[in-house]
């Protein structure tokens, strides 16, 4: 996917942040400078943690990590744009979104290690966190399943008369799944208040976008389902917030769902289990490096005299310090207990599981070196 091709096709790309660091007033979301600084801190935190968690995996201390290098503005911009009561259904690159919503750094790191303080009790892979108390759903590895789940949740909220929308994250690869079709069709037919947020980052693991669809854009797929489709510069924080807010307002008015195609690029590997050098020429990264979403926001803040290199380094030092403390605590925390595998399955355990639990706890233990 070429960075220069994003302006082509039948759907114009919405942009706010100009090359000179000023904002286009036609789509400016009207953020106060303190708001921009707040979001920028989350962007820097996300990128810093990305590097640290990748290093942990390389050291063999955690098993897996999915990064968001180059896609931070799309993820955090959309998260910031929805209301706190709107539910977010993540893909698997949205740890920055979860932290912005209120997931504690310690809980995130506990999940990476799968210890007894892990919310999902070590039953999931690392990077499969959740934060239900902040209206933030659980990550699941199967591609696209969150799409139908998010639509179902929003439909239930509509039936109950609740003023809630759902923000559903997914990648371009998920548009090839049955869940995408089912979710889009149902949401449009029943005017469900869902925002379908497609991060078109160029790759579905090793499959490029041009092998994913024959249509010029993903946004135009919305027309066949009977909903608006919008293309936005996913590396433009201000534009992402603007178009997502418009989609929320549309949902609030009872006008149904919106499909947003955020044009960005996956600058890193699909995950720590992936080697992009096997299928991608590194020269493809060069034009996207010039569109780094963090650098674009940083230039804006510096021009507004609201940020400098000292503030940047102080922030990075703080994030790294908090991360090191969280890792130390997580590594010193015991793994989940054996009996915890029976929790959260039934409200009351049936007799056969009661017997199995008793046999497990009273039976012989394998030696630790086994």
Catalytic residues: 266, 270, 279
Do residues 199 and 67 lie in contact, with contact meaning Cβ atoms separated by under 8 Å?
no
Three-state helix/strand/coil letters over the chain: CCHHHHHCCCCCEECCECCCCCECCCCCCCCCHHHHHHHHHHHHHHHHHHHHHHHHHHCCCCCCCCCCCCCHHHHHHHHHHCCCCCEEECCCCCHHHHHHHCCCHHHHHHHHHCCCCCCCCCCCCCCCCCEHHHCECCCCCCCCHHHHHHHHHHHHHHHCCCCCCEEEEEEHHHHHCHHHHHHHHHHHHCCCCEEEEEEECCEECCEEHHHCCCCCCCCCHHHHHCCCEEEEECCCHHHHHHHHHHHHHHHHCCCCCEEEEEECCCCCCCCCCCCHHHCCCHHHHHHHHCCCHHHHHHHHHHHCCCCCHHHHHHHHHHHHHHHHHHHHHHHHCCCCCHHHHHCCCCCCCCHHHHHHHHHHHHCCCCCCCC
């Amino acid at each position: 996917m070429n960075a220069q091709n994003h302006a082509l096709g039948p759907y114009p790309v919405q942009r706010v942040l100009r090359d000179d660091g000023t904002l286009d007033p036609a789509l400016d979301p009207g953020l106060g400078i303190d708001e921009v600084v707040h979001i920028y801190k989350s962007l820097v935190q996300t990128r810093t943690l990305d590097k640290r968690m990748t290093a942990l995996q390389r050291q063999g201390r955690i098993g897996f990590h999915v990064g968001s290098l180059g896609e931070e503005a799309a993820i955090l911009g959309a998260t910031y744009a929805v209301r706190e009561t709107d539910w977010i259904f993540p893909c698997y690159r949205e740890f920055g979104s979860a932290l912005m919503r209120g997931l504690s750094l310690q809980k995130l790191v506990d999940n990476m290690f799968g210890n007894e303080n892990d919310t999902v009790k070590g039953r999931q892979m690392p990077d499969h966190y959740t934060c239900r108390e902040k209206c933030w759903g659980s990550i699941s590895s199967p591609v696209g399943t969150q799409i139908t789940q998010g639509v179902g949740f929003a439909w239930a909220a509509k039936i109950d008369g609740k003023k809630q929308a759902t923000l559903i994250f997914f990648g371009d690869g998920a548009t090839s799944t049955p869940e995408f079709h089912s979710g889009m069709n149902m949401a449009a037919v029943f005017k469900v208040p869902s925002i379908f947020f497609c991060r078109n980052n160029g790759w579905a693991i090793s499959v490029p976008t041009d092998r994913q669809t024959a249509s010029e854009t993903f946004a135009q797929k919305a027309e066949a389902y009977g909903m608006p489709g919008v293309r936005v510069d996913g590396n433009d924080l201000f534009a992402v917030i603007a178009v997502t807010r418009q989609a929320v307002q549309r949902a609030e008015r009872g006008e149904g769902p919106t499909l947003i195609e955020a044009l960005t690029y996956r600058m890193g590997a699909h995950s720590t289990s992936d080697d992009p050098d096997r299928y991608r020429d590194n020269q493809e990264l060069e034009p996207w490096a010039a569109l780094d979403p963090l650098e674009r926001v940083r230039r804006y803040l510096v021009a507004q005299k609201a940020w400098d290199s000292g503030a940047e380094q102080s922030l990075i030092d703080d994030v790294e310090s908090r991360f090191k403390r969280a890792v130390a605590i997580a590594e010193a925390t015991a793994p989940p207990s054996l009996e915890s595998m029976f929790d959260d399955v039934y409200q009351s355990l049936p007799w056969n599981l009661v017997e199995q639990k008793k046999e497990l706890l009273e039976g012989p233990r394998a030696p630790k070196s086994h």
